[in-house]
Structure 1
Amino acid sequence: MTEADLVHLRRCVELAGAALADGDDPFGSVLVLADGTVAAEDRNRTAAGDQTRHPEFELARWSAENLPPPERARATVYTSGEHCPMCSAAHAWVGLGPIVYAGSSAQLTAWRSEWGAPPSPVAPLPVGAVAPGVAVRGPAPELADDLRALHRQAFERIG
């Protein structure tokens, strides 16, 4: 991870904290253009019952509506957690560039298992299993404790 990567990933963790504070699961994402400009950001918005309101999916949709294909291909999506299969597919379908994530699906699955949480209704596949052409970097060990704490709070709230 570069220092620039960590700056964007820390923002993703902040957005995840904002999602948690608003009753959503703690996930946040930032879309960064090739020149380093932050084009868009979002956080999880699933508390109302629509489990498709993931920030990664929203950024894929936003990019399809606002960026030409070549610009999408050069953009990077930073995210607090590795994309789920739905978001991985959306990312690939709109032709976004690399994904950089703070925490992996494997980490989250292990934490949830440790806490006795029920398994996800969707298989926790890594991005490469769903979108093999997308370059991926992560996890960021520097942020593992912060992510674990956010997800623990979310589990305790509903568990």
Structure 2
Amino acid sequence: MVDDTDLRHLRRAVELAAEALAAGDEPFGSLLVAADGTVLFEDHNHVAGGDGTQHPEFAIARWSTTRMTPAERAAATVYTSGEHCAMCSAAHGWAGLGRIVYASSSAQLVSWLEEWGVPAGPVRALPVNDVVPGVEVEGPVEALAEEVRALQAHFHDRD
């Protein structure tokens, strides 16, 4: 169940996605929050330079493995503007991170891109639990998904 604290962190993830867009990058943003509510790490996409692996969720997984114990990682939550791609889901699983809460789903993104005539990416869009069975996942959150859709539309010149 998504509560007010989750919504606050999800709003920040969407803000980070907007920051990515303002910087000329794909609009995705994510943050890592400890069990006690402390924001430990936040970032947005950095793929505009040509490295398609520079997703914030992947950065979170790498960061967490060198700075957190396995128990701390398992108790943490990743908030993200868009559901993890398969690469980021795998990194999340290998790092042993806990719950994921996202504003918009991969299925929504695929649908929007199809609607706009934008070619699919090089990796199949899969639900997180298809890649990492058992991790707790919450989303999409429809009110914020519409904001993410608007950011994606702007990035793809469809607004």
TM-score, scaled to structure 2: 0.97
Q: In the TM superposition, what are the counterparts of 1:10-159 in structure 2 within 5 Å?
A: 10-156=11-157
Instruction: Provide the rounded CA distance (Å) in 1 between the counterparts of 2:145 and 2:87.
Output: 23
Residue 23 of structure 1, CA deviation: 1.0
Partner AA of 1:82 in structure 2: E
Residue 58 of structure 1, CA deviation: 0.1
Task: Please give the secondary structure, in 2, of the residue aligned with 1:34.
Answer: coil
Task: Please give the secondary structure, in 2, of the residue aligned with 1:156.
Answer: coil
Q: Give the length in aligned residue pairs.
A: 157
Residue 97 of structure 1, CA deviation: 0.3
Instruction: Provide the rounded CA distance (Å) in 2 between the counterparts of 1:24 and 1:18.
Output: 9
TM-score, scaled to structure 1: 0.97
Partner AA of 2:77 in structure 1: T
Partner AA of 2:142 in structure 1: P
Task: Please give the secondary structure, in 1, of the residue aligned with 2:43.
Answer: strand
Percent sequence identity over aligned pairs: 62
Instruction: Provide the rounded CA distance (Å) in 2 between the counterparts of 1:20 and 1:142.
Output: 19
Instruction: Provide the rounded CA distance (Å) in 1 between the counterparts of 2:93 and 2:66.
Output: 15
Which residue of structure 1 lines up, in the alignment, with residue 8 of structure 2?
Answer: 7
Structure 2 residues without counterparts, runs of 5 or longer:
none
Residue 24 of structure 1, CA deviation: 0.8
> Which range is displaced more, 12-21 or 148-157?
148-157
Partner AA of 2:54 in structure 1: R
Aligned CA RMSD, in angstroms, stands at 0.9
Instruction: Provide the rounded CA distance (Å) in 2 between the counterparts of 1:94 and 1:107.
Output: 26
